[in-house]
Amino acid sequence: MALNNTDQQLLSNKEIQSTIDLLIHRIDYIDSICNNGFPLYSPGKTSQWIISPGGSWIGGFWSALWWLRSRITGSEADQRKASDICRRLSSKLSIDSINRSFIFWYGASLGDLWSGDNQAHKLAAESITALAATYDPTIRCMPLGTAMGGGTEGKRCISIDSLAALIQLFSRSEQSQHQNISQYHTDTALTACYYNGAFHTSAYFGQNKFHSTDEAGIWSRGQAWGILGLCRAAAQWGEPYLTYAHSACEYWKYTRPDPLPLDRLDNSSGLYDPSASVIASLAMFSLADLLPDGNPWRLQAHQLISAVIRSPFFIGFYKNDDYPNNKIRMNPGIFWGNCYKTNEDKEELVETVWGSFFLLAALCILVGIIKPNHC
């Protein structure tokens, strides 16, 4: 499924707009079955959504989809919907998890940034204060925390997943203390998890230093999260983060020449995870803006998104032939290329609101609706 480097395979502006429309209409369907809950995931192409009353770490992406939709449509009704979902995230302020940065950057700060929503601004500010209070000067980071899967060792762990969201969330604060904490945390994450362009997904502090918990560069989405975090750090503070970000993007190209990468490089018979390419593309769009001649990285990102949209993992694009039945054909806009642990012993390819948000955001960047550093 390798993608050749030719302009003919890039999505045109017309195709991008058509795909944006499909994803927007998909939001309506998902909303129709939520009953004021938070949609988590739907296995494969089934449209059988698992709904949560609280949303876990994914909840912020549900309001983020509506914030982005209102940005696209200019609809006051869409903005009110986003704001309503945002208010329901307030219960997560006290959860002991660094993944609150996912919830409140995407779920609240984007509402402040794109719509000037006062409640979103207040909620984002409160989340920064709550997260900053968890900063541990001994290990110079905000640890993973015990909730949302962190467990009893979460107080001594650092993870790479939420780095980009945390940097962006804290960048909205005017307090120098918050900026300092964010940079201390970032530097610790790089010391513990970054090695020659590759990322360990987490590390545990013991015997006065961090110890990585996995092999660097193996998990594709973890690598993509890390690249995105570096690009956000580069946008915020410049060097040396820009050099690191460039090296990490080069590492991605070298180790993942296929635009639809395996979930894990050490399991050639395992699942693919196209969502990792979508997240990596967001990093590459940002890197392109930070370099004197970033066009090759913008082209690379455009190629990745084009390949994902044209693949069987996205339902509804008119050139896709993967329509096993009329039910799927009548329910387009499904991006089911997200590898996700649906229970303790099982990973599946699913449709998720975070995957759809990132895909929609990448498309919006391509046509200039949002800026690369806004997501």
Domains and CATH numbers, the chain: 7-374 (1.50.10.10)
Average of pLDDT values for 164-180?
97
Give the model's pLDDT for residue 204: 95
Q: Which residue has the higher pLDDT, 317 or 137?
A: 137
Residue 302 reports pLDDT greater than 60? yes
Residue 4 reports pLDDT greater than 80? no
Site of tokens 């360990």: 200
Average of pLDDT values for 141-155?
92
Least trusted range by pLDDT, from 170-179, 223-232, 321-330: 321-330
Question: Model confidence at 329, in pLDDT bands (50, 70, 90)?
Answer: low
Residue 145 reports pLDDT greater than 90? yes
Residue 66 reports pLDDT greater than 50? yes
Give the model's pLDDT for residue 345: 85
- pLDDT one-digit tens code per residue, 33-50: 998 899 999 999 999 999
Percentage of the chain exceeding pLDDT 90: 88
Give the model's pLDDT for residue 6: 40
For 222, list phi and psi in degrees, rounded to 5: -60, -40
- pLDDT one-digit tens code per residue, 244-263: 999 999 999 999 999 999 99
Question: Model confidence at 177, in pLDDT bands (50, 70, 90)?
Answer: very high
